[in-house]
Amino acid sequence: MDLNNNLTTPIQKLSENLNNNSFFIKRDDLFPISFGGNKARKALLFFKDLFAKGSDCIVTYGSSSSNHCRVIANIAAAKGIPCHIISPTKSSSPTSNSKMINLFGATITKCPVSKVSTTIENKINELKLKGFNPYFIQGGGHGDVGTQSYVNVYEEILDYEKSSGVYFDYIFHTSGTGTTQAGLICGKVINGDKREIIGISNARKNPYGGQVVMDSVKSYLSKQHNSSVESNAITFIDDYVLDGYGSYNHSVLLTIRDLLISDGIPVDATYTGKAFWGMKEYIKRNSIFNKKILFIHTGGTPLFFDKLEELRNER
Ligand SMILES: *Cc1c(COP(=O)(O)O)cnc(C)c1O
């Protein structure tokens, strides 16, 4: 696996036309490594950083449905790097992601959610005592390296706009642990753009969710650029989180089914399908008409297959 390929993803028009808006989608789910998505984008940069720092094993955490852990375990296996995953016992029923994580030979340590940080610390110390030089990645690929990958995506969007003549008034995407949104906002700030970037939260509520994005933006900008950010720069919408991480309703399932049938694009109930539904509700509620709207498909294809049976029964 070559980590230095310069990989980009396509943007395509959708058949959706709610409120006479034109909808486009950036297919980061097709990012061509390990079923793609934003975690694959982030992971490539994390592994480059790992090798630059001379580390020789990896420690990270996430639940059994974690896209992040799947991608990290896949690249670690490709590179022959031992991969240690700390996983909360609560959400540990088998999924396509967890089955792949096992296939890739990652070492899983389960613990209660409240013990995650001490378990991580213990694991890192244990590895150091054995003579390893561990590289730690926060859950979801959080941190400046993760942010960088979505600054890169923002640049790809600008390239598309230049070559197509289409300008996006709004960029919508699923916002979880915050670096996807932080990267897009940093890209916007660095380029002095005015458009709206709207993160539809799939789990976290404000003020915490939005604050984490803001902290990530500030952290990145202070290290990489001398630009600052206004206190109202983050639009982190928590109106569509339902009962939190992993929860969804009938409307989310219908949205997933409709997009699969109308455009042949799979989205999932935990992240992208939920946010696509949230985006449409937001557009109705805020009376957005006649705009060009880009939705970033941040991946999660294995999660789509986990819900396929349920989708089939949806009417
Ligand atoms: C993790 C994830 C997100 C959220 O990205 P963050 O950078 O954590 O905000 C969105 N979509 C999918 C499919 C994900 O796996």
- Residue 315's pLDDT is 67
Nearest CA to ligand 1 atom 4: 176
* Residue 129 identity (one-letter amino acid): L
Best residue among 245, 298, 305, 306 to mutate for probing ligand 1's pocket (most ligand atoms within 8 Å of CB) is 298
User: What is the rounded distance in angstroms from the CA atom of residue 146 to the CA atom of residue 33?
Assistant: 16
Best residue among 271, 296, 306 to mutate for probing ligand 1's pocket (most ligand atoms within 8 Å of CB) is 271
Q: Which atom of ligand 1 is closest in space to residue 199's alpha carbon?
A: 9
Best residue among 177, 179, 234, 272 to mutate for probing ligand 1's pocket (most ligand atoms within 8 Å of CB) is 177
Nearest CA to ligand 1 atom 1: 140
- Residue 223's pLDDT is 84
What is the Å distance from ligand 1's center to 111 Cα?
23
DSSP H helical ranges for 137-226: 144-164, 179-190, 208-224
CB-based contacts of 298, cutoff 8 Å, min separation 6: 28, 29, 37, 38, 173, 174, 180, 271, 272
Q: Which atom of ligand 1 is closest in space to residue 29's alpha carbon?
A: 13
Go through the chain and tell me how many residues it has.
315
User: What is the rounded distance in angstroms from the CA atom of residue 32 to the CA atom of residue 71?
Assistant: 11
Burial (CB count within 10 angstroms: exposed 0-12, middle 13-18, buried 19+), residue 247: middle
Question: pLDDT (tens digit, 0 to 9) for every residue of the chain, 315 residues total?
Answer: 988 888 999 999 999 999 999 999 999 999 999 999 999 999 999 999 999 999 999 999 998 899 999 999 999 999 999 999 999 987 667 899 999 999 999 999 999 999 999 999 999 999 999 999 999 999 888 899 999 999 999 999 999 999 999 999 999 999 999 999 999 999 999 999 999 999 999 999 999 999 999 999 999 999 876 677 888 889 999 999 999 999 999 999 999 999 999 999 999 999 999 999 999 999 999 999 999 999 999 999 999 999 999 988 776
What is the Å distance from ligand 1's center to 201 Cα?
10
Give all strands of the β-sheet with 107-111 in edge-to-edge order: 107-111, 83-88, 57-61, 134-137
- Residue 92's pLDDT is 66
What element of type H or E holds 258?
A: helix 250-263
What is the Å distance from ligand 1's center to 38 Cα?
6
**Token pair of 109, please?**
């340590």
> Which residues' Cβ are closer than 6 Å to ligand 1?
37-39, 67, 140, 174-181, 271-272, 298-300
Answer for the pair 95, 125: CB distance below 8 angstroms, yes or no.
no
Q: Which atom of ligand 1 is closest in space to residue 299's alpha carbon?
A: 13
**Token pair of 308, please?**
């396929």
Best residue among 39, 101, 306 to mutate for probing ligand 1's pocket (most ligand atoms within 8 Å of CB) is 39
Nearest CA-CA partner of 18 in 212, 277, 231: 277
By DSSP bridging, strand 11-13 and strand 22-26 are antiparallel
